[in-house]
Amino acid sequence: MTTNPFILDAECLHKAFGGLMAISDLSFKVREGEIKSVIGPNGAGKTTLFNLITGVHPASSGKIHFQGKPINGLKPHVIARLGISRTFQTVELFSQMTVLENVMVGCHPRSRAGLFSSGFRLPHMRKEEKWIRDQSFEILKLGSLLGRADLPAGSLPLGEQKTLEVLRALATGPKLILLDEPAAGLNEVETQKMADLLYSIRDSGVTILLVEHDMSLVMKVSDEILVINYGEKIAEGPPAQIQNDQKVIEAYLGGEALLCLN
Amino acid sequence: MGKNNYLKLLVMAAIIAVVPLIVSGDYHLSILVFMGINCMVVVGLSLLMGYAGQISLGHAAFFGIGAYSTGILTTQFGLSIYAAFLCGILFSSLVAVIIGIPALRLQGHYLAIATLGIGEIIYIIFNEMVGLTGGPSGLSNIPAFHVGGYPFSHSIQYYYLVWGALLVILWFSLNLIHSRVGRALKAMHGSEVAAGAMGINLSAYKIQIFVLSAIYASIAGSIYAHFVSFIAPNNFAFMNSIMFLMMGVVGGLHNIWGAVMGASLMTFLPEYLRVFKEFDILIYGAILLAILLFMPEGFLEGIPMLYRKYFKRGEA
Ligand SMILES: Nc1ncnc2c1ncn2[C@@H]1O[C@H](COP(=O)(O)OP(=O)(O)O)[C@@H](O)[C@H]1O
Ligand SMILES: [Mg+2]
């Protein structure tokens, strides 16, 4: 038995919304333990790709393997339980719940108490509840949100909401975490903090798939970069190679933001 | 479940203990019994609607299944009251699972339509299976509830039974809300797509809560049958389902305590508005309308909100 160095393996993915090809014949692999970024102009299909991997949308065709097992067609909650977690481009916090509760919800896949044991507060449920709480405090510490624990999540400034989403995803105990523009709207200091958080997540053994527009962040943290445009792969490789790739430069020059490709 | 709720439960237990010292007479006590029975059903609806976000238009059917199960099994099959109670719970759960699984797998308000249908079907069954149910003329001579061979002979005993059971149901429900399951339900309300990404099986929880609410209704129905000793299909018709819903809406479904308040008020009001003779319906309607118009969140949260609004305006 050979150990598979790739945690995620997507083969010939297609996704059509009506007549629009949002993802087209896309194949790529994610190596276990790395930070891999997906970049491309707006509307390139990055968020759609995340939705395919996490089961929010079914792929029109193609295969996705996670840790060697096919995950196509599985429900989002099943995929989450297998070890793929994510954040959302437009913040999707449980805004009426507190910061702490948000992270506690994140602990869902790692706890078991059901209707019966919760309603009767059986001993093992109480023990688990304490574990969830402790664990959640630990995770909040990781993102320096301990002082915000009891505030409604919706009341936090954007930067902290973005951090909280990452922490909530982390609470599920993922092996692979998909982050959709975690630094969008953040200032320089907050972006640096986010980068530090990404490193500490990676160092804890969690593989990261990152969608991000902040090119200096992407170039700094990524082990590998996948570039897509109109749903198709146009380049893939380490940052140094991507920066000098003619097709990438054209795609971006033709598009909106000029790259800070150094 | 939080100290606050334990305190409220304690206060409620104290009130339950004190009320019989003030209120006496069969008539007033029986209203209190009906109040407790309605509370039981509406607490279940609160979990289902306020927390799991699903509407049931047929809860009178589960109430009826509980009532007819104990009624039929004790009078015609000689089952003990407790066994009959359990059978009612089993039947209700079964019906809830059968309609809940297909309806709750789909997003949207399919449950409302499914429960509307099942409510009608069960109402027809109560009417048509004359051999078992007595048909439209009803089922009579249902034995009194008893504990250890001593039958309940006075409303006060039912009063303690109902409100004691309600305390347990409230305790269970509040525990549930303040648990992993309750958080999952709240998360689902906040964002279904994010809840799914947190590994929460949305339809499984919706089905569980639906079954739980059916069980509450069934228990209430069984107690009802023993208390009144005579039941007929009209007690479990569509209008009764709507009545349960209204009770919840009036009190506020997003809060278990709102459900208790709503059910209590709406059981109490029509009885005591009788002093106004022919104006009673008018006043009843006016009160309902006022609550729904000015306190869409229900009066439990609505009254303090209106008060604050009024108070602040007065200050400024
Ligand atoms: N649910 C959807 N229904 C229809 N079209 C969609 C849907 N989601 C995304 N699209 C379309 O797919 C394309 C890719 O979108 P998206 O994946 O959000 O791009 P990116 O995240 O790279 O900016 C866009 O043209 C977008 O309008
Ligand atoms: Mg996007």
Using alpha carbons, list the distances in angstroms from residue B136 to A210, B222, B226, B237. 66, 19, 19, 12
Cβ distance B196 to A75 less than 8 Å, yes or no, reads: yes
Give the pLDDT score at B229: 93
Q: Can you read off the two tokens belonging to residue A142?
A: 């990781």
Residue A148 near residue A160, CB atoms below 8 Å: yes
What does the pLDDT average to over B230-255? 93
| Higher-pLDDT residue of B291, B235 | B235
Give residue A217's pLDDT. 95
Hey, of B9, B51, B198, B202, which one would you mutate to test binding to chain A, going by the most A CBs within 10 A of its CB?
B198
Between B246 and B284, where is the model more confident? B246
Of A48, A56, A227, the residue with max ligand 1 atoms within 8 A of its CB, to mutate for a pocket test, comes to: A48
Give the other-Cβ count within 10 Å of B54's Cβ: 23
Amino acid, single-letter form, for residue A91? V
Residue A236 CA, ligand 1 centroid: distance in Å: 21
Q: Over 80: is that where the pLDDT of B2 sits?
A: no
Q: Is A191 in the pocket of ligand 1 (CB under 6 A)?
A: no
pLDDT band at B83 (very low <50, low <70, confident <90, very high): very high
Q: What is the 3 state secondary structure string of B223-280?
A: HHHHHHCCECHHHHCHHHHHHHHHHHHHHCCCCHHHHHHHHHHHHHHHHHHHHHHHHH
* Distance, CA of B193 to CA of B187 (rounded, Å): 10
Report the pLDDT value the prediction gives residue A254, as an integer from 0 to 100: 56
Quick check: CB of A41 below 6 Å from ligand 1?
no
Which of residues B17 and B302 earns the better pLDDT score?
B17
Average pLDDT of chain B?
Answer: 91
pLDDT in tens, B250-279: 999 889 999 999 999 999 888 888 888 787
Using the predicted structure, report yes or no on whether residue B315 has a pLDDT greater than 80: no
Range in B20-24, B28-32, B204-208 with the lowest mean pLDDT: B20-24
B190/A97 touch (CB, cutoff 8 Å), yes or no = yes
Q: What is the pLDDT of residue A256?
A: 46
pLDDT score, position B109: 80
Among B213, B236, B215, B212, which Cα is nearest to B225's? B236
A contacts of B193 (beta carbons < 8 Å): 56, 76, 88, 92
Q: What is the pLDDT of residue B303?
A: 86
Average pLDDT estimate for B71-88: 93
Q: Which atom of ligand 1 is nearest to the CA of A45?
A: 17
Q: What are B129-152's pLDDT values in tens digits? A: 999 999 999 999 999 998 887 889
Question: What are the chain B neighbours of A172 within 8 Å (beta carbons)?
Answer: 198-199
Q: Is the CB of A58 under 6 A from ligand 1?
A: no
Please give the pLDDT value at position A249: 84
Render pLDDT for B161-187 as a digit per residue (tens, 0 to 9). 999 999 999 999 999 999 999 999 999
Of all protein residues, the one whose alpha carbon is nearest to atom 8 of ligand 1 is A48
pLDDT, averaged per 10 consecutive residues of chain A (262 residues), comes to: 84 95 96 96 96 97 96 96 97 96 98 96 96 97 95 96 97 98 94 96 97 94 96 95 88 56 42
> Does the pLDDT value for residue B42 go beyond 80?
yes
3-state SS track over A244-260: CCHHHHHHHHHCCCCCC
Q: Which of A13, A14, A17, A51 to mutate to test the pocket of ligand 1 (most atoms within 8 A of CB)?
A: A17
Atom of ligand 1 nearest to the CA of A15: 12
Domains of chain B, with CATH numbers?
3-272 (1.10.3470)
